[in-house]
Structure 1
């Protein structure tokens, strides 16, 4: 899978980031919250990212900059 960084909150590898793949999907890197109260299937997960990250992606366009 080819992964391209679209938008991030910083230039360090451990910050919330949104990536595009060559499969037509997005990967989201963020904190794993434990207090969400959701029932997530064992083969899935949920991550938390700042709203500003999504707004920045929208401003830059889906393919980032």
Structure 2
């Protein structure tokens, strides 16, 4: 799988960041969601899935 860097909301270009795969999917790099109350509200969590917090401003930068 090849990744293409799309954007970051970090001044240093580290994370959070968004990438696009060669098949058009999006990969998110960021802080792992660790708040137990928030995690308890997630639905249909499958083995191996994880959750990353994405600032709204980062997604809006793709417009």
Structure 1: gaps spanning 5 or more residues: 59-65
Given the two structures, how large is their TM-score scaled by the length of structure 2?
0.76
Provide Cα deviations, 1:9-55, integer angstroms capped at 9, x if missing partner.
12343x10010010121101111112222252222111001100000
The alignment's C-alpha RMSD in Å is: 1.4
1:24 and 1:3 map into 2 onto residues whose CA distance is: 9
Q: Which residue of 2 aligns with 1:54?
A: 59
2:23 is the counterpart of 1:23: yes
Aligned length: 57
